[in-house]
């Protein structure tokens, strides 16, 4: 027993000695730099002196060209078709509708670049779009992401650009840099997903459309594809700490082009009306939605005018009708052949 105890003491002493030696060696190695200081080390700033502003490489200025080159594209293909698809399927189980409306564009020998304009309720919307957008566009689509949210740090920006092919966009203003960059991309055949609402819905209802998609379409000539996403707000809406798996729907609308002489504002209103009609189509059916669209009576994406609990109450009703809840069951009709 006593022999064992003396051996362990001996081992501990040796370990402590090794640590001492290592620590001394490290201190000795670092001493010259500490002693050297500036310019070998970063300068300190005198108090009371304002530093001149450095050009930013974050936010809207984040460089993402590398994410559209072959190695990044190959990596993204693996990510999207592997873990991303599985995760989206597990969380949101999407049903994709209306792809036939894109068949004319996709049947071209060289399908044109397009601008997808979906409503936005959740961070899930982007992975959902990455999976729902059909070929030939899927592998050549960039996602317009809020520069102030996704590109505020280098790590976040790199991940967003690699996994989602995200492109930093100013939320409030479509700046010249963003606009020029998108124009160049569209002329190179890259399609774009842009959320005209500018950000996720704060309360589950939609927000007014900003003119980004309409403006970019007018400038690039690319058609806008209105898209309605239903169900993701209930799965992982803004403010939710963890996702609550459910079902979702992605409905693609018919391509829209800017009409000559029509202002961006009016074109934006048309896009909003079209997404609103698609939302009604999900809640009701195609014919009811078309009838209400003709009368200008599609329920607004932004929900009822009133505030407070009644607004939330109405949202629950809407979700019950939509993909997140139970849809009314369709019964098979048997022919009436009398007696």
Partner 1 sequence: MPRPGFVLEVDRSTPPILFWRGENFSLEKLPAGRSRVIYPPEPLPALDDIDGAIRRALLNPHDQDPLPALLFPGMKLTIAFDDVSLPLPKMRRPDSRQRVMEAVLDMAAAAGVDDVHIIAALGLHRRMHEYELRHALGDRIFDAFHPRGTLYQHDAEDPDNLAVIGTTPQGEVLEINKRAAESDLIVYVNINSVAMDGGWKSITTGLASYRCLSHHHNPETLENTRSLMDRHKSALHQSVWRLGTVLRDHGPKVFQIETTLNTDMFPSPFGFINKREWEWNVKDRATFLATTKSLDRTPIRLARKIFHGIEGPHQMTSVQAGETDAVHKITLEHIFKQQLVPVEGQTDILTLGIPFVCPYNPDGVMNPVLVMCMGLGYLFNMYRNKPLVREGGVIIMTHPTYRDFNPVHHPSYIDFFEEVLSDTTDPATMSRKWEKKYAEDEWYRHLYRTGNAYHGVHPFYAWYWGAHGLQHAGKIIIVGGDAPTVRRLGFTPASTMDDAFEIATDVVGRAPTISHLHVPALLVADVS
Among 239, 287, 305, 339, binds partner 1 (CB under 8 A): 287
Question: Which residue matches tokens 């993204």?
Answer: 76
Q: Smaller CB distance to partner 1: residue 3 or 330?
A: 330
Q: Smaller CB distance to partner 1: residue 264 or 288?
A: 288
Backbone angles phi, psi at 182, to 5 degrees: -65, -40
Q: Smaller CB distance to partner 1: residue 43 or 296?
A: 296
User: Segment near partner 1 (CB under 8 A), from 64-72, 78-86, 201-209, 293-301?
Assistant: 293-301
Q: Smaller CB distance to partner 1: residue 16 or 259?
A: 259
Q: Smaller CB distance to partner 1: residue 59 or 325?
A: 325
Question: How far, in Å, CA of 255 to CA of 116, rounded?
Answer: 9
Among 286, 306, 307, 312, binds partner 1 (CB under 8 A): 286
Question: How far, in Å, CA of 299 to CA of 210, rounded?
Answer: 19
Q: Does 338 bind partner 1 (CB under 8 A)?
A: yes
Binders in 182-241 for partner 1, by CB under 8 A: none
Q: Smaller CB distance to partner 1: residue 102 or 169?
A: 102
Q: 10-28 b/e with 16+ CB inside 10 Å = b?
A: eeeeeeeeeeeeeeeeeee
Q: Smaller CB distance to partner 1: residue 176 or 329?
A: 329
Q: Which of 116, 298, 314, 327 is nearest to 203 (CA)?
A: 314
Among 32, 46, 52, 335, binds partner 1 (CB under 8 A): 335
User: Segment near partner 1 (CB under 8 A), from 19-27, 49-57, 125-133, 290-298?
Assistant: 290-298
Sheet holding 115-118, edge to edge: 94-97, 248-252, 224-230, 115-118, 191-193, 141-146, 166-169
User: Segment near partner 1 (CB under 8 A), from 30-38, 39-47, 116-124, 292-300?
Assistant: 292-300
Binders in 65-104 for partner 1, by CB under 8 A: 97-98, 100-101, 103-104
| Shortest distance in whole angstroms from residue 333 CB to partner 1 | 5
| Shortest distance in whole angstroms from residue 127 CB to partner 1 | 24
Question: How far, in Å, CA of 271 to CA of 255, rounded?
Answer: 10
Among 20, 285, 316, 317, binds partner 1 (CB under 8 A): 285
User: Which two structure tokens, joined as six digits, stand for 168?
Assistant: 């930093």
Q: Torsion over CA of 185, 271, 160 and 95, rounded to 10 degrees?
A: -120
User: Segment near partner 1 (CB under 8 A), from 57-65, 81-89, 222-230, 289-297?
Assistant: 289-297
Residues 6+ apart with CB under 8 A from 220: 113, 115, 182, 183, 186, 187
Q: Which of 226, 220, 133, 134 is nearest to 185 (CA)?
A: 220
User: Segment near partner 1 (CB under 8 A), from 31-39, 76-84, 310-318, 328-336?
Assistant: 328-336
Binders in 99-138 for partner 1, by CB under 8 A: 100-101, 103-104, 107
**Start-end of H helices in 165-308:** 176-187, 212-220, 232-236, 264-283, 286-295
Question: Which residue matches tokens 């293909």?
Answer: 77
Q: Does 295 bind partner 1 (CB under 8 A)?
A: yes
Q: Which of 245, 250, 223 is nearest to 235 (CA)?
A: 245
Which residues here bind partner 1, judged by CB under 8 A? 97-98, 100-101, 103-104, 107, 254, 281, 285-288, 290-291, 293-295, 330-331, 333-335, 337-338
């Amino acid at each position: 027993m006593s022999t064992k105890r003396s051996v362990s003491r001996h081992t501990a002493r040796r370990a402590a000695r090794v640590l001492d030696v290592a620590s001394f060696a490290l201190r000795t190695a670092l001493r010259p730099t500490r002693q050297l200081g500036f310019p070998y080390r970063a300068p300190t700033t005198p108090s009371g002196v304002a530093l001149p502003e450095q050009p930013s490489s974050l936010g809207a200025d984040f460089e993402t060209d590398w994410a559209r080159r072959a190695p990044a594209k190959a990596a993204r293909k693996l990510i999207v078709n592997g873990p991303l698809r599985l995760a989206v399927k597990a969380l949101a189980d999407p049903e994709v509708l209306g792809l036939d409306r894109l068949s004319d564009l996709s049947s071209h020998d060289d399908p044109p670049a397009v601008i997808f304009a979906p409503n936005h309720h959740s961070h899930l919307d982007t992975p959902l779009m990455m999976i729902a957008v059909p070929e030939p566009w899927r592998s050549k689509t960039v996602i317009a992401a809020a520069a102030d949210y996704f590109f505020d740090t280098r790590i976040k920006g790199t991940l967003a650009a690699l996994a989602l092919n995200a492109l930093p966009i100013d939320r409030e203003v479509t700046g010249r840099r963003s606009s020029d960059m998108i124009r160049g991309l569209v002329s190179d055949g890259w399609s774009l997903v842009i959320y005209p609402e500018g950000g996720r819905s704060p309360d589950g209802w939609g927000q007014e459309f900003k003119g980004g998609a309409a403006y970019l379409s007018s400038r690039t000539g690319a058609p806008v594809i209105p898209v309605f996403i239903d169900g993701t707000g209930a799965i992982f809406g803004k403010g939710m700490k963890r996702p609550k798996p459910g079902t979702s729907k992605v409905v693609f609308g018919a391509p829209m082009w800017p009409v000559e002489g029509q202002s961006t504002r009016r074109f934006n209103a048309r896009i909003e009306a079209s997404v609103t009609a698609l939302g009604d189509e999900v809640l009701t059916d195609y014919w009811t939605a078309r009838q209400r669209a003709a009368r200008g009576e599609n329920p607004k994406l932004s929900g009822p005018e009133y505030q407070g609990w009644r607004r939330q109450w109405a949202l629950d009703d809407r979700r019950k009708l939509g993909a997140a809840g139970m849809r009314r069951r369709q019964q098979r009709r048997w022919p009436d052949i009398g007696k």
